[in-house]
Structure 1
Amino acid sequence: MTPTSASPRLPAGARARAPQVLSCLETLYPDARTELVFNTPFELLVATVLSAQATDVSVNAATPALFAAYPDAHALSTATAEEIEPYIRSIGLYRGKAKNLAALARLLVERHGGEVPNDFAAVVALPGAGRKTANVVLSNAYGFPAIAVDTHVGRLSRRLGLSVQTNPDKVELDLQKLFPREKWVFLHHALILHGRRVCFARKPNCPGCVMADFCPKVGVEHVAV
């Protein structure tokens, strides 16, 4: 689903840079996909909720035991937040996330028969979920064309001169204007990987970046995020 809020004009040169960015990302990360480990839409939803302000590594370390204890929404809906907490204690903001997971599972059972709905508005309405979570779940579980804007995607979009926005919804809208719909899912995964491996938040590896020739931020001592 496209954000409804309009964004200002795209940065100068954005439309010319977008195909270059996409070409480089396809060369560097041809198999880009989410690094969250999951087997079902339910597991992906839970992992995505847990990943807010946490690393995928920390989430992947915690979820096997959590899913062994609560393999589906019906099982998780019987748990209290206090019973969930020990499984996710190693993840940031675990107390609040435990409360959200308990409430989320109950709503999945009450409203959707325990299944994760293939519906954007229904996922956004779940506790602990939001636009980014819905985009991640629907794109990876159901093939829905979407761009999930996390901190990496937002940072790289601004550095590469694809958007000047700081609001994730407006960054998403700018990227949707610049890239083919069939590339949206790949794009956000590839940008995340590039943000983790090359275009770091504090000290981006500009000399080692294949996009240095056309990146407007190369050579800037302090790169705005």
Structure 2
Amino acid sequence: MLTIIPDKAGFVLAVHHRLYQVYGSKIKYLYNRDPLSELVDTILSQRTKNKDSAQSFTNLIEQFGTWEKVRDAPVEAVLEAIRPSTWPEQKAPRLQQILRLITERHGKLSLDFLAEMSVYDAREWLEKLPGVGPKSSAATLSFSNMRARALPVDSHHFRVAVRLNIIDAKIGEGKANRILENLLPASFTAKEVFDSHQVMMRHGQQVCFYYNPACAGCVLLDLCPTGQGLLDIKV
């Protein structure tokens, strides 16, 4: 049962500040890619370890050189290039389908035009593409050289938010994306929104594990009913 938090936005901000004290000094924008390249990487990274999706992305660049050549290549060749990624049999045709649709709808294979749109409209445009949901649209705009104010929510971020009772697990990662973004201060810059995702994600990766979370040493323990409950059980 989700405990009611009277000032949820204030609670989220307090969590952010604590986690930023731990992880903030290590956070920098990861890439300077154009949004189309970032979208490709986001698709490859779905349910895939970072090192494997990175290898798949590198393979595409080295073997084809341009996204136009990836779009027009035999699907078998794309599949082989992205084989390190999870479910390459599904991702290869889906990736080519997306590249074709962008070309058809925009007239050329580029997403640079999204910079001229509001973040809301840009995300709506992206989410009309097959397999592109709230996480992927936010990551494309936030992680690329657009540096837009959009909050991705991955499985680690989602897990931490659920355990803190910020959101209910039943809503799923897709809907959580908008809810969690709306709980951040309106004054947050695009970089601060990016930082919010990074600190939640890193905490999930390094402390709030799926199995056997390290609750005893968690900086959020006094705020976390899940962690307190788990420690009570162990005692």
- The TM-score, its normalising length taken from structure 2, stands at 0.81
Query: Quick one: distance in 2 between partners of 1:130 and 1:173?
Result: 11
**1:170 corresponds to which residue?**
175
Per-residue displacement from partner, 1:100-119 (whole Å, max 9, x unpaired)? 11111222222221102522
Per-residue CA deviation, residues 10-57 of structure 1 (Å, 9 max, x unaligned), is 83253442222111121122243576x663322211110011111212
Q: Name 1:122's counterpart in structure 2.
A: 125
CA deviation profile, 1:53-89 (whole Å, cap 9, x unmatched): 1121211122212112233332212113211011111
Structure 2 residue aligned with 1:205: 214
Question: Does residue 1:188 correspond to 2:171, yes or no?
Answer: no
SS at match of 1:49: helix
The whole-number CA distance in structure 1 between the counterparts of 2:85 and 2:32 is 17
| Match in the other structure for 1:69 | 63
In 2: Cα distance, 1:136 partner to 1:150 partner: 10
- Cα deviation for residue 174 of structure 1 reads 3.0
Q: Secondary structure at the match of 1:218?
A: helix
CA distance in 2, matches of 1:11, 1:176: 19
CA distance in 2 between partners of 1:40 and 1:197 (Å): 29
Deviation at 1:134, TM superposition (A): 0.5
Residue 99 of structure 1: how far off its partner (Å) = 0.6
Q: Secondary structure, in 3 states, of the residue corresponding to 1:217?
A: helix
Q: Which has the higher helix share?
A: 2
1:22 aligns with 2:16: yes
Amino acid at match of 2:49: T
Question: Hey, what's the Cα distance between the residues in 1 that align with 2:178 and 2:133?
Answer: 16
Please say if residues 54 and 91 of structure 1, whose CA atoms lie closer than 8 Å, have aligned partners that are also in contact: yes
Mean Cα displacement is larger for which, 123-132 or 99-108?
Answer: 123-132
* 1:12 equivalent in alignment to 2:16: no
> Cα 1:213–1:126, aligned 2, differ >3 Å: closer, same or farther?
same
What is the total number of aligned residue pairs between the two structures? Answer: 213
TM-score, normalization: structure 1?
0.84
Gaps of 5+ in 2: 115-121
Distance 1:56 1:34 in 2: 16
Distance 1:177 1:127, change over 3 A: closer
